Chain A
Amino acid sequence: MSTDYNKRFILFSKPFVDAIKDTFKVMMDTEITIHSPKIKNENKTHGDIAALIGMNGLYIQDDEEHDFKGLLVIAWSMETYLKISSKMLMEEFSEYSEEISDTGAEISNIVMGNAKKILATNSYKIDMATPSTIKGQNLEIKYPPKTKVIETVISSDLGEFVMEICYQEI
């Protein structure tokens, strides 16, 4: 992977960090702490519930258009997911139910939408896919081969969770 690619990946990732901070502050009145991001070397995503949203599009560099695709994943333990759902929906949820089955997907949708707006100012044109949520122990997410994934641990009063961003120039 070239230095240019690494630089673009870092620039691409930053708006997601800003967007998730804003989402938690505004919708849950919660400050989050972003820990140092690291390159992920495995397909396992740690958590009981993960929200996924795919994206594709193009970026313009030196008047040339380049295609890319990516994936945003946010994963929570069940305990943290219940606390986040309770805070966001303004009612108490002590166990998982249909009522909160798409809370994670909605959070990823908001984060993606706001990151997209910031990235548009950095010459990225992005189409968002429909978000989804998966549930299960030892979740495994198959990222495309030869792609890098940045994993960022996030902590808050509601618990710890992870955000992962996969970015592939094609």
Chain B
Amino acid sequence: MAFDVKQKILIIDDMSTMRKIIKNMLTKMGCDDLHEADDGTPAWEMIQSAYKADAPFDFIISDWNMPGMTGLDLLKNLRSSAEFNTLPFLMVTAEAEQSNVVLAVKSGVSNFVVKPFNQETLKMKIEKIFK
């Protein structure tokens, strides 16, 4: 399935600045069905509620380090559930160590983007998921 700007996307980050940056980059790419959560816990609830309401999210973009449920824990929750085990998931992190990449890949991440990044890099990382 190719990336479609009409997709329903959930952006998760405890920093409002990073949510806004990603949102503005996606908006410039033509996306307009954008939703936000400031932690993995409300995000997990939003993902389940949207699915039950028959309006599921098509794509998740999540920070790794968050004070409540981390991006990695959210990813593990999704991958262990039958409904969401193939839901595309882009992990965003400031910590680019190899061990983190390996851990995320083993946990079933779709792709990985390391901060700092620009709109071009984000677009490329997303397109690679949906290629």
Contact = CB atoms under 8 A, between A and B. Distances in A.
A88 to B, nearest CB: 7
Interface in B60-101: 67, 93-97
Given A106-B17, A116-B97, A23 B116 contact: yes
Dominant secondary structure at the A interface: helix
A27 B97 contact: no
Given A102-B16, A116-B95, A120-B97, A110 B116 contact: yes
Contact of B116 (A22, A98, A99, A105): A22
Contacts of B67: 130
A38 B127 CA distance: 45
Interface residues of A, number: 29
Contact of A102 (B15, B96, B121): B15
Given A99-B20, A130-B67, A27 B118 contact: yes
Contact of A113 (B25, B115, B117): B115
Contacts, number: 64
A89 interface: yes
Contact of A103 (B17, B24, B97, B115): B17
B35 to A, nearest CB: 17
Interface in A45-98: 85, 88-91, 98
B24 A91 contact: yes
A26 interface: yes
A102 B17 contact: yes
A112 interface: yes
B17 A112 contact: no
Given A103-B17, A113-B96, 13 more contacts: A25-B116, A26-B116, A26-B117, A27-B116, A27-B118, A89-B20, A90-B28, A100-B17, A110-B94, A114-B96, A116-B95, A116-B97, A128-B95
Interface of B: 15-18, 20-21, 24-25, 28, 67, 93-97, 115-118, 121
What are the 5 tightest A-B residue pairs by CB atom distance, in nearest-first order? A113-B94, A26-B116, A106-B17, A27-B116, A103-B17
